[in-house]
């Protein structure tokens, strides 16, 4: 890579620098290149995959059907690839992305082991200069941040981690070589989706496994299975229809229910009899229970409606967990189902019936400190551990961006600009940061949709913006502050009309001390998102953006 010895007037090294080689970054590289843009991808890891590269903890698995959680842009790819399971494990998702990278010859434009530390916009030259951790500098007209929605790992503010003499790992940066848990005393801090996947997988291996839980989450059986051949061929035969539906559904990108294409229901909970409701919950529970969220249209807006689902799931938990005291601890008391990210489970609740698994309530007796040989609770109770696993999540949506020193017009830093809350237009651009785009980021449908599909739409949208700039002889683009304000307001209004703000969740930014309380993703559905994004292109022109010639 060349050193930064060019004169300011020289052409930039690249048209586009993409940061991150996960689902979105690979898609971006493919499409930008196909559109004649000179593009390089900078990737911190030694391979492609993003989330699926870093999250190698045992049990990591996608909880959207693999036939959907995959690229839609090439029928050839989606017909050719064969998923071994209905919900694929991390190694299979990673294998898929490696296969796509090879199939589309993407690796030749990816710089691996290259972590970006800063990106500075030069207002005169209208270009970005980025600096990597090993001191190299590159320039480009556009910078596309595909750094991942859940990539900035969060360590809890508990004193003493450095003191621990056993093995210490974060699930979001699981060692490539793995961790030997055989016969060892293992502690897991956290009770989110990651812990829910990890625990049943490692429990049989460990000597003793202790889960330190502060807040229980609602968990839903996944009913995973080897991919039924007939199902796969049926889906492949109607892929265009499925992909069309995916772009029209309100909520997450789940349309395959009971092996049928089905949109979330609009029927209200109390429009049907109690028996009918129970039948609907049971049917969805037996298929993939996460789909139970789509049973009725008012589960997230009407507390009484939601209470019927709460009652249903509470009964399920009590029927699985043998010890009534443990079952009570596992039942969330302070948030209704689906107001925090639901967890897909495959033996999590049942794992607490094992002799070698225990649950410790650290809401009533918090972790005071990590010690050399384990951890100590505030009551003084000590837990000796050989391995301590922090399954404590991420600084979602913004963390991947604000941990990089990004400076836009007049040297303004993105981190400072977002100190009292993220501000974007469509979750794709931010005023004051010209020619920088975000993929699958804060204030886009991201967490409430299917990331590969959202990235697909956003990449094409950026291509259209760049075409428009070129067609009008413009050098730079950023959203108007009015458009941005309207978008931020809309994102917040939408979530405030739901039950979601009731919960202290990472969805609301509540997991990171000091982070402004603000929903991290757009909850209005991908259909509405797309409608608004299209409206920003008015009769072929870009209405909600400022173009600089």
Tell the residue number behind the tokens 């993105």, with chain if given.
Answer: 414
DSSP state of 227: P
Distance (Å, whole) CA 532 – CA 479: 14
The one among 143, 145, 289, 362 contacting ligand NAP by CB under 6 A: 362
Q: Which residues contact 185 (CB under 8 A, 6 or more apart)?
A: 206, 207, 208, 210, 374, 384, 385, 386, 387
Minimum separation from the CB atom of position 67 to ligand NAP (A): 15
Which of the stretches 102-110, 207-215, 292-300, 403-411 binds ligand NAP when contact is defined by CB under 6 A? Answer: 207-215
With 0-12 / 13-18 / 19 or more C-beta atoms within 10 angstroms meaning exposed / middle / buried, residue 232 is middle
Looking only at the bridges linking them, the beta strands covering 374-377 and 367-371 are: antiparallel
By CB under 6 A, name the one of 295, 306, 450, 511 that touches ligand NAP: 511
Q: From the CB of residue 105, how many other CB atoms can be counted at a distance below 10 Å?
A: 10
Number of chain positions touching ligand NAP (CB under 6 A): 28
Among the listed residues 493, 490, 517, 497, the one whose alpha carbon sits nearest the alpha carbon of residue 505? 517
Binds ligand NAP by CB under 6 A, chosen from 12, 187, 190, 400: 190
Is the CB of 432 or the CB of 509 nearer to ligand NAP? 509
Stretch that binds ligand NAP, among 128-136, 161-169, 192-200, 455-463 (CB under 6 A): 192-200
* CA nearest neighbour of 11 among 110, 131, 139, 119: 139
Q: Does 370 bind ligand NAP (CB under 6 A)?
A: no
Exactly one of 94, 209, 391, 417 binds ligand NAP (CB under 6 A); that residue is: 391
Site string for ligand NAP, 300-339 (x = CB under 6 A): ----------------------------------------
Q: Which stretch binds ligand NAP (CB under 6 A): 59-67, 269-277, 291-299, 464-472?
A: 59-67
Binding string, 62-81, against ligand NAP, x = CB under 6 A? xx------------------
Q: Does 215 contact ligand NAP by CB under 6 A?
A: yes
What is the DSSP pairing of strand 219-221 with strand 343-345? Answer: parallel
Interface residue with ligand NAP among 28, 94, 191, 320 (CB under 6 A) is: 191
**Block residue for tokens 């499409």:** 31
Distance CA 123, CA 129 (A): 11
The least distance separating ligand NAP from the CB of residue 519, rounded to whole angstroms, comes to 14
Q: Which two tokens stand for residue 311?
A: 């009652």
395 binds ligand NAP (CB under 6 A): no
User: Do residues 202 and 403 lie in contact, with contact meaning Cβ atoms separated by under 8 Å?
Assistant: no
Q: For the CB of residue 98, give the shortest distance to ligand NAP in the complex, in Å.
A: 19
SS (H, E, C) 165-226: CCEEEEHHHCCCCCCCCCCCEEEEECCCHHHHHHHHHHCCCCCEEEEEECCCCCEEECCCCE
When asked if residue 297 is in the footprint of ligand NAP (CB under 6 A), the reply is no
- For residues 12 and 141, the answer to whether their CB atoms sit within 8 Å is yes
Distance (Å, rounded) from C-alpha 259 to C-alpha 188?
A: 35
3-state secondary structure of 513: coil
Nearer residue to ligand NAP within complex by CB, 330 or 476: 330
Q: Report in angstroms the alpha-carbon separations of 408 from 17, 106, 418, 548.
A: 16, 29, 13, 15
Closest CA to 456 of 19, 23, 67: 23
Q: How far is the CB of 295 from ligand NAP (least distance, A)?
A: 20
Give yes or no for residue 195 binding ligand NAP (CB under 6 A). yes
Beta carbon of residue 388, minimum distance to ligand NAP (angstroms, whole number): 12
Q: Scanning residues 114 to 143, which ones bind ligand NAP (CB under 6 A)?
A: none
Q: Does residue 156 belong to the site contacting ligand NAP (CB under 6 A)?
A: yes
Given 39, 94, 143, 150, the residue binding ligand NAP (CB under 6 A): 150
- Does residue 189 touch ligand NAP according to CB under 6 A? yes
Of residues 158 and 179, the one with the C-beta less far from ligand NAP: 158
CB of 224 to ligand NAP, least distance (A): 11
* Chain residues in the site for ligand NAP (CB under 6 A): 61-63, 150, 156, 158, 171, 189-195, 197, 212, 214-215, 341, 344, 362, 367, 391-394, 506, 511
């Amino acid at each position: 890579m060349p050193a930064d010895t060019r004169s300011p007037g020289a052409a930039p090294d690249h048209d586009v620098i993409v940061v991150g080689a996960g689902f979105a970054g690979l898609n971006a590289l493919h499409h930008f290149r196909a559109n004649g843009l000179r593009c390089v991808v900078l990737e911190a890891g030694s391979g492609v995959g993003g989330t699926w590269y870093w999250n190698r903890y045992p049990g990591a698995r996608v909880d959207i059907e693999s036939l959907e959680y995959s690229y839609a842009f090439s029928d050839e790819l989606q017909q050719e690839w064969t998923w071994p399971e209905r919900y694929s494990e991390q190694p299979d998702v990673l294998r898929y992305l490696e296969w796509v990278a090879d199939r589309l010859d993407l690796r030749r434009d990816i710089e691996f082991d290259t972590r970006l530390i800063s990106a500075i916009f030069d207002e005169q030259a209208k270009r970005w200069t980025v600096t990597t951790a090993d001191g190299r500098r590159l320039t480009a007209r556009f910078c596309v941040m595909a750094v991942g929605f859940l990539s900035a790992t969060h360590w809890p503010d508990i004193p003493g981690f450095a003191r621990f003499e056993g093995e210490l790992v974060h699930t979001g940066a699981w060692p490539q070589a793995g961790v030997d848990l055989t016969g060892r005393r293992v502690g897991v801090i956290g009770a989110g989706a990651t812990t829910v996947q990890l625990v049943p997988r490692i429990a049989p291996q460990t000597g003793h496994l202790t889960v330190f839980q502060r807040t229980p989450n609602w968990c839903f059986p996944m009913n995973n299975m080897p991919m039924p051949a007939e199902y796969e061929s049926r889906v492949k035969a109607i892929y265009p229809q499925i992909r069309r539906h995916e772009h029209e559904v309100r909520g997450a990108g789940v349309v395959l229910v009971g092996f049928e294409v089905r949109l979330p229901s609009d029927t209200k909970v109390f429009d049907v009899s109690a028996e009918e409701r129970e039948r609907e919950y049971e049917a969805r529970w037996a298929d993939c229970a996460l789909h139970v969220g789509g049973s009725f249209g008012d589960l997230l807006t009407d507390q009484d409606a939601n209470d019927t689902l709460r009652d249903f799931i509470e009964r399920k938990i009590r029927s699985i967990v043998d010890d009534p005291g443990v079952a009570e601890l596992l039942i969330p008391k302070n948030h209704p189902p689906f107001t925090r990210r639901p967890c897909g489970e495959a033996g999590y609740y049942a794992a607490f019936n094992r002799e070698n698994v225990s649950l410790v309530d650290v809401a009533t007796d918090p972790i005071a400190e990590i010690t050399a040989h384990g951890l100590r609770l505030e009551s003084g109770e000590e837990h000796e551990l050989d391995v301590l696993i922090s399954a404590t999540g991420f600084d979602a949506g913004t963390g991947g961006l604000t941990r990089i020193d990004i400076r836009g017009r007049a040297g303004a830093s993105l981190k400072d600009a977002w100190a009292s809350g993220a501000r974007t237009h469509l979750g794709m651009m931010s005023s004051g940061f010209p020619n920088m785009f975000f993929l699958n980021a804060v204030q886009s449908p991201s967490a409430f949709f299917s990331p590969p599909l959202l990235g697909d739409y956003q990449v094409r949208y950026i291509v259209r913006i760049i075409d428009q700039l070129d067609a009008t002889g413009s050098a730079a683009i950023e959203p108007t502050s009015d458009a941005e304000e309207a978008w931020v307001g809309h994102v917040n209004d939408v979530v405030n009309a739901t039950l979601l703000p009731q919960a202290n969740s990472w969805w609301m930014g509540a997991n990171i001390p000091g982070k402004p309380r603000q929903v991290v993703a757009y909850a209005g559905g991908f259909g509405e998102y797309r409608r608004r994004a299209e409206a920003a292109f008015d009769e072929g022109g870009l209405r909600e953006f400022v173009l600089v010639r």
